[in-house]
Chain A
Amino acid sequence: MMAVDDQFYREYILDHYKNPRNFGRLPDADVTHEEYNPLCGDLVGMDFRLRDGTIEDVRFHGRGCAISQASASLMTERLKGMRLDEARRISRDDVLEELGIEISPARLKCALLSLKVLKVGAYGLAGEEDDEE
């Protein structure tokens, strides 16, 4: 049978999708925020526990495609222990670089859903990073 190259679904993306890191809820979260991808109904939510300007703990929940869920999983790994002002500077390019795969325009919203949750949830920066359309 013909098989396509697996460039898009690299092993670590699939690994994060099948074994998501920091998946679940934080009962004592200081901030909780969810965002939908209106295109497909994908959901990513994050619970943050903050202390002294640092993200002490973070968990994510949701449902969706490998790209949105792996991106969220990678994001939580990056955020844990990070200072808020540092997290504020995470850009879409950072997220895409970390995913390390070529994202088609149609899938960009999937890849950046977790960044939107971070920006809107943790900072109320609605719209600032959401101009990719």
Chain B
Amino acid sequence: MSTSSSSSATRSLLDAEAIRQDFPFFETGIAYLDSANTAQRPRQVLEAMEGYFTRYNSNIHRAVYRTSMEATEHYDATRRKVRDFINAASVKEIVFTRNVTEAINLVAYSWGRQNVRAGDLIVLTIMEHHSNIVPWQILAQEKGARLAYVDIDDRGELRLDQFHELMQQAPRLVAFAQVSNTLGTITPYQELTAAAHAAGAVVLIDGAQGVQHVGMDVQEAGCDFYGFTGHKVLGPTGVGVLYGRRELLESMPPFLGGGDMIRAVFLDHTDYAGLPEKFEAGTPAIAEVIGLGAAIDYLREVGLDAIRTHERDLTEYTLEALGEVPGLRLFGPPASRRSGVVSFDVDGIHPHDLATILDRHDVCIRAGHNCAMPLMHRLDVAATARASFFLYNTREEIGRLVAGLHDAKRIFA
């Protein structure tokens, strides 16, 4: 164990071994280093969902019997928890979606179709996940709008000079990740948002990799839209969140039509429900929303500061340990400016082969383009290997990663 990079370890406020007791998955003995892909779920989340299924399973916002009201109460409670978690001004600004992908598509289809016109500029970054690229491409193609991508420097940080230059072209929309899913780069999202607003743009921040690691205060950040996903924040799959500034959400047409998003339906027209129901057509993922509420409770109880400190310690430790593996190349900025994500490749061994060998050591990492193909092209690689951390990870797991990498090198020697 190194001592040179353990300064933050002494500040660690979190007992990962105790936390692991809450996660049944770790009984498998698997070293799980893929939380940027999807996180594990604590018992508390599973029990919250089971409680719904076994004690008050019923639809929300419809029936008058007590179990339905109980379901509605729990469902709405999560909305308040999300509001507090990201410090939104109102629950009306919190829309439940299927995931971040759907949240971004909602904005692209509803706000985008209403507001983006031919010749308008949409500014993205080269390190976006496909879900923050493809919806804008579809919109741009439909409207004849233009897309521009902010590049990164050699350390994997955004080229702010380029960003500010693009702002001079008065973009209609600026959309970027709070944290890069591949490089772990924490973007200066407040500075970017302020500059984009000064240029007259609407700002969407993709918080898929951010909210659970570095937190988010949407009022402080000042963004217009923000999205995150349940399954990356210890919650279940199938539920995500779109935050939208109230005036914007109110001005936007519905995304999907159907039940629950209406006030009254006539043969020739419909009066839509108010916020946030206007954007929640159909029976939602009730159990999943309730599970998300339990996940947020869990994260807040541990504390985001403690989580950030713990992950930073793991990241420093990993950067140092991997730096000593011959032929291994690290991508991304130093630990102080990145989240718990470490992408790398090893000379002569494809990431897929690394991941297969590590799998045989019971170590899970991601290998591939991480749904960020433009970034892969920018880095001039076909794929990367990626280890990512969360509150439950330990140095012991990283040791197993390093041992597996040495075994891969032996096999491919």
**Interface of chain B residues 363 through 413 with chain A (CB within 8 A):** 367-369, 373, 376, 382-383, 403, 406-407, 410-412
> Is the beta-carbon distance between B352 and A110 smaller than 8 angstroms?
yes
Number of interface residues of A (CB under 8 A): 23
User: A residues within 8 A CB of B367?
Assistant: 40
User: B residues within 8 A CB of A64?
Assistant: 350, 352, 382
A 1-25 to B, binary, CB cutoff 8 A, 1 in contact else 0: 1111110110000100010000000
User: B residues within 8 A CB of A6?
Assistant: 411
> Is the beta-carbon distance between B361 and A2 smaller than 8 angstroms?
yes
Closest to A36 in B: B382
Tell me the smallest distance from the CB of A122 to a CB of chain B, in Å: 24
Contact of B411 among A14, A40, A65, A104 (CB under 8 A): A14
Tell me the smallest distance from the CB of B357 to a CB of chain A, in Å: 7
User: A residues within 8 A CB of B350?
Assistant: 40, 42, 64-66
User: B residues within 8 A CB of A18?
Assistant: 348, 412
> Is the beta-carbon distance between A8 and B360 smaller than 8 angstroms?
yes
Number of interface residues of B (CB under 8 A): 23
A 73-103 to B, binary, CB cutoff 8 A, 1 in contact else 0: 0000000000000000000000000000000
User: B residues within 8 A CB of A41?
Assistant: 368-369, 373, 376, 382-383
A43 sits at the interface (CB 8 A): yes
Determine the distance from Cα of A65 to Cα of B369 in the docked complex, in whole angstroms.
13
B17 sits at the interface (CB 8 A): no
Tell me the smallest distance from the CB of B201 to a CB of chain A, in Å: 32
A107 sits at the interface (CB 8 A): yes
Tell me the smallest distance from the CB of B181 to a CB of chain A, in Å: 15
A 29-48 to B, binary, CB cutoff 8 A, 1 in contact else 0: 00000000001111100000
Determine the distance from Cα of A63 to Cα of B369 in the docked complex, in whole angstroms.
14
Residue of B350, B360, B403 ringed by the most chain A CB atoms within 10 A:
B350
Determine the distance from Cα of A67 to Cα of B349 in the docked complex, in whole angstroms.
11
> Is the beta-carbon distance between B407 and A1 smaller than 8 angstroms?
yes
Closest to B383 in A: A40
> Is the beta-carbon distance between B412 and A40 smaller than 8 angstroms?
no
Contact of A63 among B360, B368, B382, B411 (CB under 8 A): B382
Determine the distance from Cα of A109 to Cα of B184 in the docked complex, in whole angstroms.
28
Contact of B382 among A42, A66, A67 (CB under 8 A): A42
User: A residues within 8 A CB of B361?
Assistant: 2, 4
B353 sits at the interface (CB 8 A): yes
Tell me the smallest distance from the CB of B394 to a CB of chain A, in Å: 17
> Is the beta-carbon distance between B356 and A14 smaller than 8 angstroms?
no
User: B residues within 8 A CB of A9?
Assistant: 353, 357, 411-412
Q: List 15 A-B contacts (CB under 8 A).
A: A2-B407, A3-B410, A5-B360, A8-B356, A9-B412, A40-B350, A40-B352, A40-B367, A40-B382, A41-B368, A41-B369, A41-B376, A42-B350, A64-B350, A66-B353
